[in-house]
Amino acid sequence: MDKDVKHAVIVVIAAVIIVAVAFVGVSTASGVSPFQTVIESGSMQHGIGSEIGIIDTGDVVILKSKDKVDIRTFVDGYKTGYKKFGNYGDVIIYGRDTGNPIIHRAILWLDYNGDGTWSAPSLKDYPSDLWSCASGDDYNKLSGWLSLTNMGYTNTIYAALDLNTLVSVKPASGYITMGDNNPGFDQPASVSGVNGLISYEQIRSVAWIEVPWVGAFKMILNDNKDALERWVPNTIPNLTAASLLVLFLIIGISFLFDYRFFWKYRKEMNEELYAPAPLFPVEDEDDE
């Protein structure tokens, strides 16, 4: 087999093996199938334009099974300093009554007490100036309007929820949720199809890793380029630059292989060219 062909075959086989191993590894660690989703809305963005580390339109998000994650809310994250995708707490993917699943941040877990009131254990030691409730400051006996300040990616949103309405809509424990780029909580019906708090059973997975820009391919094929232009006008230029960088890296690696083989071949040729002449045995005339 020609050396160049052999080299090309080795590179292709190596690339296929690396991709296959990575696919199996991520799939196993994720624990859900499919283990990725394409973001097609701007509800989790932190402004116009794509940012690495933030869940933006056109990104691919690698998911993880909820059974493999100890879900921490915004309130929990604020107290411990735990952040994910640019803000406190974890981002969950949950099903709703109508429409596609939603990918929003878990803000606060509420337990229903069964008597028309709610308890929120996470509010213990949470700064009193960042939350309030019509029923007072007893986080184990909440009713009426519950509000949290400094919400959203700007830390300026005042978000409120009528807990009495929750009792009539869906008196069951669950998460308050919110998109980082939204003006308020998802509950009880500010996001179409969300009916009450998000129960643990409604959660399909947890956002794990953000892969920027790659989902733009799917959006363009699905004729959804308008969303890219509206929310992330820098995505296509970034994706083009990243693709060229990968191409140059592949060419560079191939060049290094060729360079290595070239010097190996040159070394062998030099060794043959400058090798000392062989010493042949000379017969002794006395032995004749």
Q: Are 93 and 187 in contact (CB under 8 A)?
A: no
**Rounded distance between C-alpha atoms, residue 40 and residue 103, angstroms:** 10
What's residue 285's pLDDT? 53
- Most confident of the ranges 9-13, 207-211, 263-267: 207-211
What SS3 state is found at 177? Answer: strand
Poorest-pLDDT segment among 94-98, 112-116, 258-262:
258-262
Q: What is the mean pLDDT of the chain?
A: 89
Q: Indicate if the pLDDT at residue 227 is higher than 50.
A: yes
Residue range 249-262: mean pLDDT, rounded: 69
Question: Residue 259: what pLDDT?
Answer: 62
Closest CA to 199 of 66, 78, 28, 76: 66
- Over range 56-73, report the average pLDDT: 97
Fill in the DSSP letter of residue 142.
Answer: B
pLDDT of residue 54: 98
Q: What is the pLDDT of residue 245?
A: 87
Please tell me the number of Cα atoms within 13 Å of 180 on its side-chain side: 26
pLDDT of residue 149: 97
Is the Cβ–Cβ distance between 50 and 238 less than 8 Å? yes
Q: Which of 89-93, 216-220, 260-264 has the highest mean pLDDT?
A: 89-93
Considering only CA atoms, which of 123, 125, 117 is closest in space to residue 139? 123
Residue 213: count other Cβ atoms within 10 Å of its Cβ: 24
At residue 16, the pLDDT reads 82
Which position has the higher pLDDT, 7 or 91? 91
In the predicted model, is pLDDT for residue 286 greater than 60? no
Token output for 37:
């989703």
Q: Is pLDDT of 268 > 50?
A: yes
State which of 3-12, 112-121, 238-247 shows the largest mean pLDDT: 112-121
User: At 211, is the pLDDT very low, low, confident or very high (cuts 50, 70, 90)?
Assistant: very high
Cβ-proximal residues to 154 (8 Å cutoff; 6+ apart), any chain: none
Please answer whether residues 227 and 219 qualify as being in contact, where contact means their C-beta atoms are separated by less than 8 angstroms: yes
- Condensed to tens digits (0 to 9), the pLDDT of residues 167-196 reads 999 999 999 999 999 999 999 988 888 989
> How many whole angstroms separate alpha carbon 287 and alpha carbon 46?
98
Report pLDDT digits (tens) over 4-37. Answer: 566 667 667 877 888 888 888 888 999 999 999 9
Q: List the one residue out of 43, 149, 167 whose CA is nearest residue 93.
A: 43
Query: Which of 64-68, 208-212, 238-242 shows the lowest mean pLDDT across its residues?
Result: 238-242
Mean pLDDT check: name the lowest of 60-74, 87-101, 151-165, 253-267: 253-267
Instruction: Please give the radius of gyration of the chain, using alpha carbons only, rounded to the nearest integer.
Output: 30
